[in-house]
C-alpha cells in the first residue's frame, strides 16, 4: 500500500494509463488506503493500541517477528516501537 494513485482514461487498464493522485477536496477514497495500511502496521504488527489509560501495547497472539517502527507519536512524545521475540517495547526517542 502507498499513496493512492488512480489509473483513469480510455487506457486505464494498460501501461499507458493516465495517473492522478488525490488533491484537496477530492473524495476520501484516495486517502483511506494509506490510513488503512498505517493501522495494520501499528496495531496488527506492532500491537500499538493507544488509549488514555494503561500500557498502549498489546502483543498480537501467535505472531512473532523482529522489527522496528520509528517516530510513533504518543502522549506528545515520539517513540520507536521495537518488536523482538514476540513482544513490543516502546523506547522514547531523543
Following DSSP, what letter does each residue of 40-69 receive, concatenated?
Answer: IIIIIIT-B---SSS-SB-PPTT----EEE
Using pLDDT thresholds of 50, 70 and 90, give the confidence band for residue 1: very low
Please give the pLDDT value at position 27: 55
Q: Where are the alpha helices (DSSP H) in the chain?
A: 29-39
- Name the pLDDT band for 52 (thresholds 50, 70, 90): low
Cα 52 from Cα 73, distance rounded (Å): 14
Average pLDDT over residues 7-34: 72
pLDDT at 37: 75
C-alpha cell at 88: 513490543
**Could you tell me the pTM of the whole model?**
0.60
Q: Residue 30 above 60 pLDDT?
A: no
Amino acid at each position: 500500500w502507498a499513496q493512492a494513485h488512480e489509473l483513469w482514461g480510455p487506457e486505464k487498464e494498460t501501461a499507458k494509463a493516465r495517473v492522478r493522485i488525490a488533491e484537496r477536496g477530492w473524495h476520501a477514497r484516495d486517502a483511506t488506503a494509506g490510513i488503512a495500511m498505517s493501522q495494520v502496521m501499528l496495531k496488527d504488527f506492532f500491537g500499538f493500541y493507544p488509549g488514555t489509560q494503561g500500557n498502549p501495547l498489546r502483543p498480537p497472539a501467535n505472531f512473532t517477528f523482529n522489527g522496528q517502527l520509528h517516530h510513533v507519536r504518543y502522549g506528545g512524545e515520539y517513540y520507536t516501537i521495537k518488536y523482538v521475540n514476540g513482544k513490543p517495547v516502546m523506547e522514547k526517542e531523543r
